[in-house]
C-alpha cells in the first residue's frame, strides 16, 4: 500500500484513476475545489491548488509516496506545487498531452510525416520557462494550452525535490456521456445525420487512447520508477477518414466530406500537420497497449447513444 495524492480526479479518467488506486489497496487523498466529492474511503481536501498558502496549510503534516497531478496547466501552477510538495513526496506524476508536440504552437525539430514522434522532441529539461506571461487569463491559457503544459513539465523537471514523470496522453475517447470533449459523439452525430465533415485535402493521422486504458497507464505510472516524459497512446494511428470509416460501420451511413482550403480550420481530428506520438518508451518500460481499432467500435456505439451535435 502506498499513500497517493491525486490533484483533480473529479471527472473522466481522473475519477476512474482514483477508483482504481483505491481498488489496488492504496491510501488515496484527493485535492480539488470541492465541486465533486471522491468515493467513500478516499480522503478529500478542499482547496484551490493555485493558492499556495492555503494549499500548504491544508496539507498540514501530510506526506505521500506519490502525487498524481491531473490539472496542472501552467508553469505558475507547477511552481506552486513544486514548493508545496517539496519534502512531502518522493514521486510526482503529471498528466500532460500530445499537444506539446504540435508544431503550430512552438518551434521544434521537424519529424517527417509517417514517423511517430518520440519524447525527446520536447525536452522539459531545456525548455524555456516564462512565469511573467498572463497565465492567469483564461483566454490566454486556452490559446496557449500546449505551451502551458510544456512549461509546467519544465518547472517540475528542474524542481529537484522529487522524482518527476509526465504522461503525455493522446486524444482520449470513450466513456459515452462522460467524455468531456464530446468529439466522438460529435462525429457520430454528423455521420448518422448526413452532415458534412470538414477535412483537409491531405489529412494526416493522429493517435488515440481509451479513457480506461489511460487510467490504467496512470495507475502503472504511479508505482513505476521511470522519470521524464512518456507517451501514452494505443497502437495504430488513424486519420480522420479512418476514424469516420469505423463510425460509418456502426451507423450504416457513409460520411459526407467537404475539403477546406489550405490554412483553414477543419473538424477536430483532421490535421494538416504531423505530431502523432511514438509509444515505444512506455513499452520498453513494461506497459502493453491495446490497438485503437479493437476498442474504438465499442466507444462509437456508446457515443451513438448521445444526442447528436447539430453543427459541423
Domain 3-303 has CATH 3.40.50.300: no
Residue 283 has pLDDT above 60, yes or no: yes
Q: CA-CA distances (angstroms) from residue 17 to 5, 24, 45, 102?
A: 11, 10, 17, 27
Residue 307 has pLDDT above 70, yes or no: no
Q: CA-CA distances (angstroms) from residue 30 to 70, 253, 259?
A: 11, 44, 45
Give mean pLDDT, residues 93-107.
96
Single pTM value for the model: 0.94
Give mean pLDDT, residues 181-198.
91
10-14, 172-176, 181-185, range with the lowest pLDDT? 10-14
Distance between CA atoms of 237 and 302, rounded to whole angstroms? 21
* Domain residue ranges in the chain: 3-303
Amino acid at each position: 500500500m502506498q499513500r497517493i495524492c491525486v490533484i483533480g480526479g473529479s471527472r473522466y479518467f481522473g475519477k476512474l484513476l482514483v477508483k482504481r488506486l483505491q481498488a489496488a489497496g492504496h491510501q488515496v487523498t484527493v485535492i480539488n475545489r470541492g465541486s465533486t466529492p471522491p468515493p467513500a474511503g478516499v480522503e478529500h481536501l478542499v482547496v484551490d491548488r493555485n493558492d499556495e498558502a492555503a494549499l500548504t496549510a491544508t496539507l498540514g503534516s501530510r506526506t505521500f509516496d506519490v502525487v498524481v497531478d491531473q490539472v496542472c496547466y501552467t508553469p505558475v501552477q507547477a511552481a506552486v506545487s513544486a514548493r508545496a510538495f517539496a519534502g512531502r513526496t518522493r514521486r510526482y506524476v503529471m498528466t500532460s498531452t500530445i499537444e506539446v508536440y504540435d508544431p503550430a504552437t512552438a518551434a521544434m525539430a521537424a519529424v517527417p510525416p509517417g514517423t511517430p514522434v518520440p519524447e525527446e522532441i520536447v525536452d522539459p529539461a531545456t525548455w524555456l520557462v516564462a512565469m511573467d506571461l498572463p497565465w492567469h487569463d483564461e483566454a490566454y491559457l486556452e490559446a496557449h494550452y500546449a505551451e502551458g503544459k510544456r512549461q509546467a513539465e519544465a518547472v517540475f523537471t528542474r524542481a529537484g525535490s522529487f522524482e518527476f514523470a509526465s504522461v503525455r496522453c493522446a486524444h482520449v475517447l470513450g466513456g459515452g456521456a462522460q467524455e468531456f470533449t464530446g468529439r466522438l459523439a460529435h462525429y457520430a452525430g454528423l455521420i448518422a445525420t448526413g452532415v458534412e465533415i470538414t477535412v483537409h485535402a491531405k489529412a494526416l493521422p493522429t493517435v488515440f487512447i481509451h479513457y480506461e486504458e489511460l487510467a490504467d497507464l496512470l495507475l502503472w505510472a504511479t508505482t513505476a520508477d521511470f522519470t521524464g516524459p512518456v507517451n501514452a497512446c494505443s497502437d495504430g494511428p488513424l486519420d480522420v477518414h479512418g476514424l469516420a470509416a469505423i463510425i460509418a460501420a456502426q451507423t450504416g451511413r457513409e460520411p459526407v466530406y467537404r475539403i477546406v482550403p489550405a490554412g483553414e480550420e477543419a473538424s477536430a481530428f483532421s490535421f494538416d500537420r504531423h505530431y502523432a506520438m511514438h509509444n515505444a518508451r512506455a513499452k520498453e518500460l513494461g506497459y502493453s497497449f491495446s490497438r485503437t481499432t479493437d476498442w474504438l467500435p465499442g466507444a462509437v456505439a456508446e457515443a451513438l447513444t448521445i444526442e447528436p451535435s447539430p453543427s459541423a
